Structures are given as structure tokens and as C-alpha cells.
Amino acid sequence: MSVDLTRLKYFSMTYVFFEDEEDIACEYEQTEQDPLVAADGLSIGFSLKNIDQAEDNACYSMVLLKNSDDEFFIKSDYFDDVDAPYPLDVETSDDDVKFTLQGEDEVMYLYGFFE
């Protein structure tokens, strides 16, 4: 199923760090600003903030990119390399789409919700 970025209206993210003793999950939600879709429909930008503002009060810019083969990538100032496009695995349902980025000792789940 192709994902129409213009239908995505809200984003949230769970980032899990796998530690020796316990896993640490950080929850993020979209800021009040609506996502912005590029004119070509191949990218969408939005900002996320940590739900626990006591831990982290920064806002992070996210850009979700889609290529002509329906492959997805993400760029963000949340990551060490801001300009690197990180490849995402994608699962869709009728209500949302889940983008997953798996690292060695961490995993990101980014959820986009349809209107």
C-alpha cells in the first residue's frame, strides 16, 4: 500500500534505548504546528517534543522522505548526523502508519496518523 503523505495529520514517536539493566523508552508527540507536506508530495516536515518536559524540553525537527519506489527515509536534528537519510521499515493500517528504524542498541517507532 502506498502511503499518501498528505493524509498524515499527526505524529508521535517512541524511542527505546536497550541498556544492560533495563530498557529506557522516551515518548514524543507532535507540537501544535501542523505537518507541512512538500508541493511534490514526497516529503513531510513536522516537530516533536518529549512528553516528559522535565527530561527534555527541546523540539526536534523531523523530515520524512519518500522516493519514487515508495521507500521511506528520515532526517532529523534528533540524530547525530542531521543530514543523513536513515532508511525506515514501514507498516500500514487503515488508521495509521508505523515507521521503524532499528539500531544496534536502540529502536525508533514513529507513528503517523491519517485524517
What is the residue whose three cell numbers read 498524515?
Answer: 8
**Residue 46, SS3?**
strand
Grid cell digits, residue 115: 485524517
**Residue 7, SS3?**
helix
The pLDDT tens digits of the residues spanning 46-101 come to: 999 999 867 667 899 999 999 988 899 999 999 999 999 999 999 999 999 999 99
Q: How far apart are CA 30 and CA 9, in angstroms?
A: 10
Nearest alpha-carbon partner for 73 in 99, 103, 92: 99
The pLDDT tens digits of the residues spanning 4-30 come to: 999 999 999 999 999 888 898 999 999
Confirm if 26 and 6 have CB atoms less than 8 A apart. no
Q: Counting Cβ atoms within 10 Å, is residue 64 exposed (0-12), middle (13-18) or buried (19+)?
A: buried
Q: What is the pLDDT of residue 1?
A: 60
Q: What is the pLDDT of residue 78?
A: 93
The model's pTM? 0.91
